[in-house]
């Protein structure tokens, strides 16, 4: 049932995106704007009804799409080009961030916002969408132009500086003071990650490929249950209940088998074949029908509990669900 819902969601996305893409091509507009419009049309907040059943799965696919897009940028943008525009890109990014934070702060103060809200508005205005700009330049076939390389450099520097700004403002918003430790921790982790990535990408990967010229990556997508040992596959990402075996498995995430709607919020049910693994408190959204018998039973008892909370607990086995709070449905298990 979950696979069917996923295929239906994917078909809706492809259909809407295809129609909007053709329309924006006819209007001679960037296709990425059409993708944004398509997302708005099929999103859960667009009336009169929701077209997507499993919003979390679509968000995961969207994150994968951004990862692949940035990976394509990395293939076409070398460190030599970044160093060539490095000083100019850093100065331009720094001045742009300072200017936009100041403009956002002044706009916020003009609306009588407090200082913190005005600073956050400025930080929001200072951050550019790297993925959208890259996609637009790609559609216009301008990614190899000199100004495009400068834009890429500015965006990279802007993203790096943006992480420090977000850490700084978040610390001020939570504690009311500047937490230098948190800022330095965030910047330090980012710097460490970049250094490790550069060392691996520049030193280790070329040597590995030179040492093993026949090394290759074979990526397969299939809905069949493949015997990894017989097929000679080293690693696999699988979705669903795994059969008992001697293979080492690690859970990467979980999907919801049902969503129960309630006034002002919703509850997401995560479970496998015979055990409920989590019940999550969510923002208000349309219901999603149960995908498994256990999820259907959990939905029935959740509705009964929400209708009359004096019952205090569900009838499911303690090992399946765990204890419930007395009267606070906002808690996630």
- 128-141 per-position pLDDT tens digit: 777 677 777 777 77
323 pLDDT exceeds 70?
no
Instruction: Pick the range with the lowest mean pLDDT from 88-97, 178-187, 321-330.
Output: 321-330
State the average pLDDT over residues 85-108.
84
Give dist(CA 259, CA 289) in Å, integer: 7
pLDDT, position 107: 92
Give dist(CA 15, CA 304) in Å, integer: 38
Domain membership of residue 266 (yes or no) is yes
Domain membership of residue 9 (yes or no) is no
Domain membership of residue 53 (yes or no) is no
Q: How many domains does the chain have?
A: 2
- 37-76 per-position pLDDT tens digit: 888 877 766 666 667 767 776 777 777 777 776 676 666 5
Question: Could you tell me which residue, 19 or 316, shows the higher pLDDT?
Answer: 19
Domain membership of residue 14 (yes or no) is no
Please tell me whether residues 104 and 166 are part of one structural domain. Answer: yes
Assign 103 a pLDDT band (cuts: 50, 70, 90).
very high
Antiparallel, parallel or unpaired: β 265-271 and 276-282: antiparallel
Please tell me whether residues 262 and 207 are part of one structural domain. Answer: no
pLDDT, position 167: 67
pLDDT, position 225: 75
Residue from 295, 279, 303 nearest 5 by CA: 295
pTM of the model: 0.48
Please tell me whether residues 198 and 109 are part of one structural domain. Answer: yes
Domain boundary among 179, 211, 243: 211
Q: What backbone phi and psi angles, to 5 degrees, belong to 277?
A: -95, -25
CA 285 to chain centre: 19
Q: Give Cα separations from 208 to 76, 89, 218, 233 (angstroms).
A: 21, 32, 17, 20
Report the residue count for the chain: 333
Residues 6+ apart with CB under 8 A from 14: none
State the average pLDDT over residues 291-295.
85
Please tell me whether residues 189 and 268 are part of one structural domain. Answer: no
Q: Which two tokens stand for residue 124?
A: 């929001």
Residues 6+ apart with CB under 8 A from 307: none
Please tell me whether residues 83 and 191 are part of one structural domain. Answer: yes
Residue from 258, 323, 242 nearest 290 by CA: 258
123 pLDDT exceeds 70?
yes
Please tell me whether residues 262 and 168 are part of one structural domain. Answer: no
Mean pLDDT of all residues belonging to the chain = 75
Please tell me whether residues 299 and 181 are part of one structural domain. Answer: no
The parent domain of residue 98 ranges over 79-211
State the average pLDDT over residues 288-295.
85
């Amino acid at each position: 049932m979950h696979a069917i819902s996923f295929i239906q969601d994917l078909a809706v996305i492809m259909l809407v995106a295809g129609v909007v893409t053709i329309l924006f091509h006819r209007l001679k507009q960037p296709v990425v704007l059409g993708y944004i419009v398509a997302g708005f049309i099929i999103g859960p907040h667009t009336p009169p009804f929701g077209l997507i059943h499993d919003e979390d799965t679509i968000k995961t696919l969207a994150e994968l799409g951004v990862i692949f897009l940035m990976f394509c940028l990395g293939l076409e943008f070398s460190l030599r080009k970044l160093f060539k525009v490095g000083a100019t890109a850093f100065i331009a990014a720094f001045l742009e961030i300072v200017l936009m934070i100041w403009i956002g702060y002044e706009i916020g103060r003009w609306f009588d916002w407090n200082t913190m809200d005005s600073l956050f508005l400025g930080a929001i205005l200072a951050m550019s969408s790297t993925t959208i700009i890259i996609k637009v330049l790609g559609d216009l076939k301008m990614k190899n132009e000199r100004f495009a390389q400068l834009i890429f450099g500015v965006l990279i520097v802007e993203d790096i500086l943006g992480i420090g700004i977000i850490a700084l403002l978040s610390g001020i918003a939570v504690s009311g003071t500047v937490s230098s430790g948190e800022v330095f921790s965030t910047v330090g982790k980012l710097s460490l990650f970049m250094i490790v990535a550069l060392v691996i990408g520049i030193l280790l990967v070329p040597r590995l490929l030179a040492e093993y010229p026949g090394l290759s990556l074979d990526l397969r997508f299939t809905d069949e249950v493949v015997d990894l040992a017989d097929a000679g596959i080293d690693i696999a990402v699988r979705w669903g209940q795994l059969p008992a075996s001697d293979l080492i498995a690690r859970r990467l995430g979980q999907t919801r088998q049902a969503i129960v709607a309630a006034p002002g919020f919703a509850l997401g049910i995560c479970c496998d074949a015979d055990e409920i693994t989590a019940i999550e408190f969510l923002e208000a959204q349309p219901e999603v029908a149960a995908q498994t018998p256990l999820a259907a039973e959990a939905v029935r008892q959740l509705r009964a509990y929400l209708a009359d909370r004096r019952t205090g607990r569900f009838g499911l086995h303690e090992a399946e669900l765990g204890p419930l709070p007395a009267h606070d449905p906002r808690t996630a298990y």
